[in-house]
Copies of this chain bind each other. A is one copy, B any other.
Amino acid sequence: MSESNSVLIGRKPVMNYVLACITLFHGGAKEVHVKARGRAITLAVDVVEVVRRRFMPDVKYKKVSIGTEQLTPREEGATPTNVSTIEITLEH
């Protein structure tokens, strides 16, 4: 997740992440990777749609990857839980 040109979606308002994407593109990035897991997946989709529809209509979806991450439990002996992930690659 430490890859450059990536925006990791958390619990902040949509516009924070939209601005992060636009800033990366204005800084010369050709691609921006929007990543999220769990409930933030819906927010990630909102972010990329706002970027494209409201601010940068020439941005395209290059790729959308779906996956699962296993979270190691905090307590010993607990079963690990699976969480779905998404990575949306935007191309300018």
Contact = CB atoms under 8 A, between A and B. Distances in A.
A58 B79 CA distance: 26
Copy tally for this chain in the complex stands at: 2
Contacts of A64: 64, 66
A11 interface: no
A72 interface: no
A42 B40 CA distance: 8
Nearest to A47: B84
Interface in A61-78: 61, 64, 66-68
A91 interface: no
Interface of A: 38-39, 41-42, 45-46, 48-49, 53, 61, 64, 66-68, 82, 84-86, 88
